[in-house]
Amino acid sequence: MFFPLSYKGSTPEGRDAKKRGTPDKRGVSDDKICVTSASGNLGKLYATAVKRGRVTYADLNKIMKKRLEYCRVLVTDKDSAYRKFARTAGLKHVQIKGDERVKGIYSIQRINAAHSRIRKFCGVASKYLNNYLSWEAIIVERRSSMSCIIRNLIRCRLDESWHDVAAKPAFPVVG
């Protein structure tokens, strides 16, 4: 899944500000942030912003190897990086074409549903994207509403202040 690169609120040196109304580039490019996500049968959701552009085998191996430790079957789309990752991780691999949703007993609908929920974060600054992805994972895993989670968050003490979040660096311009 790809999100447009957004420096909302700050523009790095050497890069022109994006004008309102100009369309984003179509397809996969370095102007998009790749979000890798995984979903299990028990309702767990994991999603993280990986890098700019297309994800590679090395990226998948670094990020997903520990997450898929107890996984036996990997159901993906037709990207070639998944084939190599599944082969080296010793997973059974089922690839589903873009126009299909189901292949035998395997379905890609759970992750498609997660992607549709995550897509509601349109216009979020790229440096905050992982925070939004974590927020969505909490909502999915707890099978709860946002208002219920906000009430629980208000009751607990948070270690990270808004100053820490605001001071996060932006995604690099050259990646």
7 belongs to a structural domain: yes
Q: Which domain holds residue 67?
A: 2-143
Give exposure, 122-132, as e/b (b: 16+ Cβ within 10 Å).
eebbbbbbeeb
110 belongs to a structural domain: yes
Residue by residue, DSSP assigns 21-34 as TPPPPSSS-TTEEE
Q: What does the H/E/C string look like for 78-95?
A: CCHHHHHHHHHHCCEEEE
Query: What is the per-residue pLDDT for 8?
Result: 79
- Average pLDDT, consecutive stretches of 10 residues, N- to C-terminus, the chain (175 residues): 81 73 75 84 81 89 84 84 89 84 82 81 82 81 71 66 66 50
Map tokens 């549903």 to a residue: 113
Which CATH number fits the domain that encloses residue 103? 3.30.420.10
34 belongs to a structural domain: yes
Decide: helix, strand or coil at residue 143.
Answer: coil
Query: What is the per-residue pLDDT for 5?
Result: 82
13 belongs to a structural domain: yes
Count of domains observed in the chain: 1
45 belongs to a structural domain: yes
164 belongs to a structural domain: no
Query: What is the per-residue pLDDT for 175?
Result: 42
